[in-house]
Amino acid sequence: MKITLLLCLFCLCCSCVLFGPQRQIKIPPPPSYTNLEELPQIYELKYIHQGTLIEHWTISADQSVELWIPKEGLSAFIFTPRGYPPPFQPYAQGLIIDPMEKLPDYRDYPSAVTAQLMLLLHNSPEAESFNYLRFLYELRERLGIHSWNIDLTEVVQRINNGSFNARYIKSQENLQWQVIFPPGLWICEDPGVEPFELLESQSVDISLPIGAGLRYLDLKSNLIREFFCDPSGRLLWVDRHP
């Protein structure tokens, strides 16, 4: 089923006054989180322009969105999968639109991280002058699908104090462990971790930077295993039963 969302004439007139000339675009349906049929197919879609949240929708995996956006400045769209038992939450994917180019045919994690950076900087004097496109290209080249491993807090601090450069576009240093998982069909919030099915208890590699957390979900039982790496480098975890 294809559903098109249109902004009303009043909003369009107001947006023309606020943002100037507009162009109409069509945002394609979001990408699948994984190829597993068992997963929910509901997404929250956020529309951000130059660091300001303009609109958000709840859509299904077969929906597209048609709307008008300003011809000036960067527009960003973040797809966040919904419908999973909390607190499990897969990482968002995104789309950055350069007004001088055609609508790009990608919806990826570097774009979502860049859009998130736009939100974090929206009250900063650097929000409009920062080169988001350069950041996006460097992020895609250096981290790719692992872009959420970047320390955005440090990036924002360095942008604001003028010390940011491309060498800070890097993954946080990870520690490694092996943990016994019970049988189940497991998925991870991190898209870089492939889903895996265990027919019996088995050791699984876990990788996390200090101070970070990560969750796994068993699609068969809805058991959530939540990991956290404490400041001393110890791996802690808790099992959350449905």
Give pTM, 2 decimals.
Answer: 0.80
pLDDT at 1: 45
pLDDT at 102: 67
* Per-residue three-class SS string for the chain: CCCCCCCCHHHHHHHHHHHCCEEEEEECCCCCCCCCCCCCCEEEEEEEECCEEEEEEEEECCCCEEEEEECCCCEEEEEEEECCCCCCCCCCEEEEECCCCCCCCCCEHHHHHHHHHHHHCCCCCCCCCCCHHHHHHHHHHHCHHHHHHECHHHHHHHHHHCCCCHHHCCECCEEEEEEEECCEEEEECCCCCCCEEECCCEEEEEEEECCCEEEEEECCCCCEEEEEECCCCCEEEEEECC
pLDDT at 89: 93
pLDDT at 124: 86
pLDDT at 71: 84
Which residue positions in the chain have pLDDT lower than 70?
A: 1-20, 31, 33, 99-107
pLDDT at 30: 72
pLDDT at 108: 80
pLDDT at 230: 95
pLDDT at 104: 65
